[in-house]
Amino acid sequence: MVNKDIQSKNFGPHLWEINVVKDIFWLAVFLFLLLLMFRLKTVFAPVFTGLFLAYLFNPAVSFAERKLKVSRVVTVSAIIGILVFGGALFIIWFSPLITDQVKILAKKVPGYIEYLNTKYSGHSELIKNKVFELLNKLKYNPAPLLNAFFEVVYKTTNTLLWVFLVPLFFFFFSWKFDSMINELKQYLPATRKERIIDIVSRMDKAFGDFFRGRVIISIFIGFLLSFALWFANVPYWFLLGMTAGILNIVPYLICIGWAVTIIITYLDYTAGSGLKEVMWLNVFVWPTVAFVAVNIIDNWILTPWIQSKSLHLSVVSLLVVVLAGGIIGGFPGLLFAIPVASCMKILFVELILPKLKKLANS
């Protein structure tokens, strides 16, 4: 005992007892796990997708369990059945329409290219040469074609696995979601438990409300915009409207849908239909009116009603966050950028800002 006391006085605490060393160690473990999951993303992606869906639907499942006295197994099974039935109805009703519009667009694309080639010959010749160069390479070296074939086989297999595994993981995670959360709460330090739960609850509300609200709003916007474009006599109205609705999951990304709609409508009227004079009202004005009208309905009715919780981010902050998310992570980065930024703001306000104020006042 005496030797240990002398050793501690001479040499101080052990390396693993220093808080900074412990924090660096756990940070390194966390980063290693993130890297491992990224390397095995094909395996973990269905797992996290099922967990994410369980998180999104958990309020409805918990409500049915508490208020309606319906077991979680029954509720989750009903949700999966409704999603499958709704997807099947969408495919049966609207897939022929989408297929016909895609076929018509595919037939008219050569005319669009020819029109662009005639009008902008200097730029299009380079593109045409690149296409022929690629075809010649495939003729003498079919390896890229074989690689593409195996890539299609791989992606088809991966898609089938997703179709089977995601509902399976969603079912089991939803079934045990509340019990998993309660289990995690037991490992929180008692002195900070209430504060941690309060901060996490606020982050959960910001994150969950954003995704639940945006998905519902985007579905409404897709159908509303499709009807508006049909009324405006826009070609491929359902295809363009539903695509813009999907883009609307990320705020302001619907502008891309508007730009694509204007370009395709312009090409259809000038090249595809063979008109010599552009009908400016049909090409530019009426599609723009349709987008503006639907955007007004979104901002003044749907978003305040369905997604009433504010993310407490300014317009400038939203644009910066969306651009940064797109650059870092592509479309998933665009999708998760705003709720992640909102959660980071909550952490900054609750944890870092008070310490900065304390340092400033000391």
Look at residue 17 and tell me if it is in a domain: yes
Asked if residue 52 belongs to a domain, the reply is: yes
Q: Which domain holds residue 145?
A: 42-95+131-187
Contacts of 111 (CB under 8 A, 6+ apart): 271, 272
What pLDDT is stored for residue 293 in this prediction? Answer: 93
| Domain membership flag for residue 250 | no
Are 87 and 140 contained in the same domain? yes
> Are residues 18 and 71 located together in one domain of the fold?
no
Domain check: are 46 and 3 in the same one? no
In the DSSP assignment, the letter for residue 248 is T
**Burial classification of residue 48, based on how many CB atoms lie within 10 Å of its CB (0-12 exposed, 13-18 middle, 19 or more buried):** middle
Which pLDDT score, from 0 to 100, does residue 289 have?
Answer: 93
Six-digit token string for 49: 């997708």
Same domain, 173 and 52: yes
158 and 32 within one domain: no
In a domain, 182, yes or no: yes
Q: pLDDT at position 228, please?
A: 93
84 and 135 in a common domain? yes
Cβ(215)–Cβ(209) below 8 Å: no
Asked if 89 and 143 sit in the same domain, the reply is yes
Long-range CB pairs of 297-305, under 8 A, 24+ apart, other chains included? 297/224, 298/217, 298/221, 298/248, 302/217, 302/220, 302/221, 303/213, 303/217
Q: Are residues 15 and 50 in the same domain?
A: no
Q: Are residues 11 and 91 in the same domain?
A: no
Boundary-marking domain end, from 187, 212, 230: 187
pLDDT of residue 94: 84
Asked, for residue 265, whether it belongs to a domain, the answer is: no
What are the angstrom distances between the C-alpha of 352 and each of 314, 343, 356? 20, 13, 6
Residues 47 and 180 in one domain: yes
In a domain, 238, yes or no: no
Q: What is the pLDDT along the chain (362 residues), one digit of tens a residue?
A: 445 554 445 555 666 566 666 667 777 777 777 777 667 666 777 888 888 889 989 988 999 988 888 999 999 999 999 988 888 888 888 888 888 888 887 777 777 777 766 766 555 555 556 655 655 655 555 555 556 555 655 566 666 667 788 888 899 999 888 888 888 888 888 888 888 888 888 888 888 888 888 888 899 999 999 999 999 989 899 999 999 998 888 877 888 899 999 988 888 887 755 445 557 788 888 999 999 999 998 888 887 777 655 566 666 777 788 788 778 777 777 778 888 888 888 888 887 888 777 777 76
Q: Give the residue among 262, 294, 298, 259 at the shortest CA–CA distance from 280.
A: 262
Is residue 66 domain-shared with residue 50, that is, in the same domain? yes
Residues 3, 139 within the same domain: no
Question: Does 176 fall in a domain?
Answer: yes
Report the number of distinct structural domains present in the chain: 2
Choose the final residue of a domain: 171, 187, 203: 187
Domain end position, chosen among 139, 169, 187:
187
Q: pTM above the 0.85 mark?
A: no
What was the pLDDT predicted at 8? 47
